[in-house]
Structure 1
Amino acid sequence: MEKIIEQAFAVPFRYQVCFLEGIFDLTNPLLANFLDNGKKAKAFFVVDNGVSNAFPDLLKDIRDYADAYQDKFILSAEPLIVEGGEISKNDEATFKKIVDATSIFGIDRHSYIVGIGGGAVLDMVGFAAAISHRGIRHIRIPTTVLSQNDSGVGVKNGINAYGKKNYLGTFAPPFAVINDFNFLTTLDDRDWRSGISEAIKVALIKDIGFFEWLEKNATALANREMAPMQELIIKCAQMHMDHIAGKDPFETGSARPLDFGHWAAHKLEHLTQYQVRHGEAVAIGIALDSTYSYLKGMISKLDLMRIINLMKALGFGIYAHELSGKELLKGLEEFREHLGGELTITLLEYMGKGVEVHQMDSDLILQSIDQLKLFHQEKVVADS
């Protein structure tokens, strides 16, 4: 006997990304309203130590806020402080502390885990929330430019394993995302700049007008003016969410246009023991793939120099000595595995329009690296 029973159903996902200043202001009920499930829900806060160090009163502010809105939610335990940056994704013991807490403090599927921090910490906290009880509601409070405009507003969670970026992870949309611009005021220049690379990325593959806006506002952004940064974050977050709402939000296929520049970036991070930060590595990866696009005859020299000049105006490095040699090329194979078998790389069909390719010429990649080194040394003069 042979019989097949087929099941098909759709599950809608909806979440809000909010932008404000003063999330723990006692007169601002936004977060409390998200935490209000009508049953005085438990909330467990996980805080990036970089944020708690920069804002010494943050833990007190969380407690005071919980006291002010105790009719809506309660703290299940003292906030957990975790080390920020990529180390939070490299050390499995870190995310296990969160999983352990869900058992110790009775944090169930009607509770909330609130992550406050940069993109790496939010990735790790989201992963812990997604695998505990098969999914605990997770609220993200991103505190860096990169997490507010890109990683924090998406649906990916994960940690690093086996020397590979995001090898363990889930697709699990957050319950809500709350971007508080006040957290950006204490960022060092590297973290302020780092997230702008993701804006360059989406502009190059989706919106030439946005790229022109970045060129016009490069000096203001480099000078840490808040108004253009807020505009950049909101624009970039909207474009990121529009993409997620498209045909393949959980990336079941091999097309990853939002990973433009990322195959090299992920490998470069690993080769530098994560001394090069994600956004910095993405900037170099974008420069590399843009140069490759130029050498393939897809964009002009003038187009390429606009990209390089924008990055330099913003203060990005466009070369790292770890790019030299063939070790970087292993990143292509790792990226292919990450995609599920078929290599799909986004290059530039023209400025503002990405195009997918399924193979790359290793010799041309090495030529692109040599060209970046020359750009880095300012030995090349732009021409059209």
Structure 2
Amino acid sequence: MSTDGIRTVEVALGARRYPVWIGRGLLGDAARWRARLRGRHALVVSNTTVAPLYLERVAQGLEGLHWSSFLLEDGEAHKSFANVGRVLEALAALGATRDACVIALGGGVVGDLAGFAAACWMRGVDFVQMPTTLLAMVDSSVGGKTGVNLPAGKNLAGAFHQPRAVVADIDTLATLPDREYRAGLAEVIKGAAIGDEDFFAWLEANADALAARADAPLAEAIARKVRYKAGVVARDETEQGERALLNLGHTFGHALETAGRYTTLLHGEAVAIGMLLAARLSERLGMGPAADTARLRRLLVRLGLPTGVPAGSDPQHLLDRMRLDKKNTAGALRLILWRGIGRAEIVAGVPEPAVLATLEEACRAGQRSA
């Protein structure tokens, strides 16, 4: 940590590097982030929930530039091609040139969509991530994945486009609803579950403090998750191998989100359920121990996250959605499973009957709890 209380994690991609700043007061610290803007045009993409709270702080740092803002409605359902088109129209109205910068002020929906628009405008202009949710701070703002949803599935259209900087101002979490905050903790747990059993044990020891949003443990958890992800991205930027591990629980989770038309579950909630389903499937396949599945479930419950599929879920429908996942190859399911906490691996050719049996078991449990 620096003397001003700001943690910095560097994402290194060969000769390309960018900082992830984590701490308090960062949105108003224009002296830090303004230097990452190279031109005279900037478009701030935000939403109707976040902008009234934080747009003015960012605007003060844009003084002297030719800038404007574009606001989305809040929610996953608005991460669409139609709204990408509207952002591009806003860039055109601004007269944005090749050295323009798109600033994403909001959660993962804003960051994914704004980054995709930045990748498209004049075949790629700068963008800066200013995540305002815990989920975005620890996951979607880092690593350069951008994209939008289609009716057929989540994030099926997108591009790899790295930001110039990530400005994670922890002050913004003070206005984050409890449900959104807990959803972000699911992504923190995911990083530990994939490849860091010591971090998982740290989360277990600090679960109560994290649930209460205690400053020091929260900043430490964010930094540790970002540092882990930055290392993975540096080794595999475009997800040709190791980076796919970061999708633990996502194939199950995305199917649940799509089945609910992006209105039933938050992304982090879907990932929490998906991780547990992946652990149970690993058990079924003789890979992961039941004790570690139980340990994961206990931590999810302690942090207020869901562990069961929504009542009324259809197992065959979920499996059909899973077949559309981007990680699949040659028509076969390719999932991230584990051999226990901290030991995730990519498994190709996962037998569909085992996946369907895992989903059927979860759906039966969901019906009993309804």
- TM-based fold match above 0.5: yes
In the TM superposition, what whole-angstrom CA distance separates every residue of 1:186-207 from its partner, at most 9, and x where no partner exists?
1111110101111221211200
Say whether residues 1:344 and 2:328 are aligned partners.
no
Distance 2:122 2:43 in 1: 15
Counterpart for residue 56 of structure 2: 60
Q: Which residue of 2 aligns with 1:87?
A: 77
In 1, are the aligned partners of 2:333 and 2:350 still within 8 Å (CA)? no
Q: Distance in 1 between matches of 2:207 and 2:82?
A: 40
Name the structure 1 match of 2:259: 271
Contact 1:88–1:121 (CA under 8 A) maintained in structure 2: no
Mark the structure with the bigger radius of gyration.
1
Using the alignment, how far apart are the partners of 1:322 and 1:211 within structure 2? Answer: 32
Gaps in structure 2 of 5+ consecutive residues: 1-12
Output the CA distance in 1 between the equivalents of 2:140 and 2:217.
20
Aligned residues of 1:200 and 1:214 also touching (Cα < 8 A): yes
Partner amino acid for 2:142? Answer: V
Partner of 2:66: 75
AA in 2 matched with 1:308: R
Q: Show the 5 A alignment for 1:27-42.
A: 28-35=30-37, 37=38, 41-42=40-41
How many angstroms does 1:342 deviate by? 5.7
1:1-384 alignment, distance < 5 Å: 12-25=15-28, 28-35=30-37, 37=38, 41-53=40-52, 55=53, 58-67=54-63, 70=64, 74-77=65-68, 79-90=69-80, 92-246=81-235, 248-252=236-240, 256-274=244-262, 275-319=264-308, 320-335=310-325, 343-369=333-359, 371-372=361-362
Q: What secondary structure is seen at the aligned counterpart in 2 of 1:195?
A: helix
Normalization by structure 2: what TM-score?
Answer: 0.88
Q: Cα gap change, 1:254/1:161 in structure 2, threshold over 3 Å: closer, same or farther?
A: farther
Structure 1 gap ranges (5+): 1-9, 380-384
Q: Deviations over 1:235-261 (max 9, x none)?
A: 101111100011x31124697111111
Contact residue 43 and residue 112 of structure 1 kept, 8 A: yes
Q: Which residue matches 1:3? A: none
Displacement after TM superposition at 1:307 (Å): 0.8
Tell me how far apart the structure 2 counterparts of residues 244 and 60 of structure 1 sit (CA, whole Å). 32
Would the alpha carbon gap of residues 341 and 378 (structure 1) be closer, same or farther in structure 2, given more than 3 Å must change? closer
CA RMSD of aligned residues (A): 2.4
CA apart distance, 1:373: 6.0
Listed one character per residue, the Cα deviations across residues 159-199 of structure 1 (whole Å, up to 9, x for unaligned) are 11242211211011111111110111111111101011112
Scaled by the length of structure 1, the TM-score of the pair is 0.85
Which residue of the partner structure matches residue 5 of structure 1?
Answer: none
Measured against aligned partners, the alpha-carbon deviations of 1:23-75 in whole angstroms (never above 9, x if no partner) come to 343x651122222x3xx62222111222124x1xx3333333333xx3xxx03
SS in 2 for 1:297: coil
Q: Is the 8 A contact 2:333 2:352 kept in 1?
A: no
Deviation (angstroms), 1:331? 2.7
- 1:174–1:283 distance in 2 versus 1, CA, 3 Å: same
Relative distance call for 1:342 and 1:109 in structure 2 (3 A) is: farther
Q: Do the aligned partners of residues 220 and 323 (structure 1) sit closer, same or farther apart at CA in structure 2, a change above 3 Å counting?
A: farther
Cα 1:299–1:59 shift into 2, 3 Å: closer
SS in 2 for 1:14: strand
In structure 2, the CA distance between the partners of 1:212 and 1:154, relative to structure 1 (3 Å rule), is same
Structure 1 Cα separation of the partners of residues 350 and 220 of structure 2: 35
Contact 1:155 1:174 in 2 (8 A): yes
Taking a change above 3 Å as real, the CA distance of residues 343 and 360 of structure 1, as seen in their structure-2 partners, is closer
Q: Distance in 2 between matches of 1:374 and 1:304?
A: 19
Residue 209 of structure 1, CA deviation: 0.3
C-alpha distance in 1 between matches for 2:255 and 2:207: 28
1:332 CA displacement: 2.9
SS of the aligned residue for 1:197 comes to helix
Structure 2 CA distance for aligned equivalents of residues 203 and 14 of structure 1: 24
- The 1:309–1:324 alpha-carbon spacing in structure 2 relative to 1, beyond 3 Å, is farther
- Counterparts of 1:126 and 1:261, CA distance in 2: 24
Give me the whole-angstrom Cα distance separating, in 2, the residues matched to 1:42 and 1:11: 28
Q: Which residue of 1 aligns with 2:10?
A: none
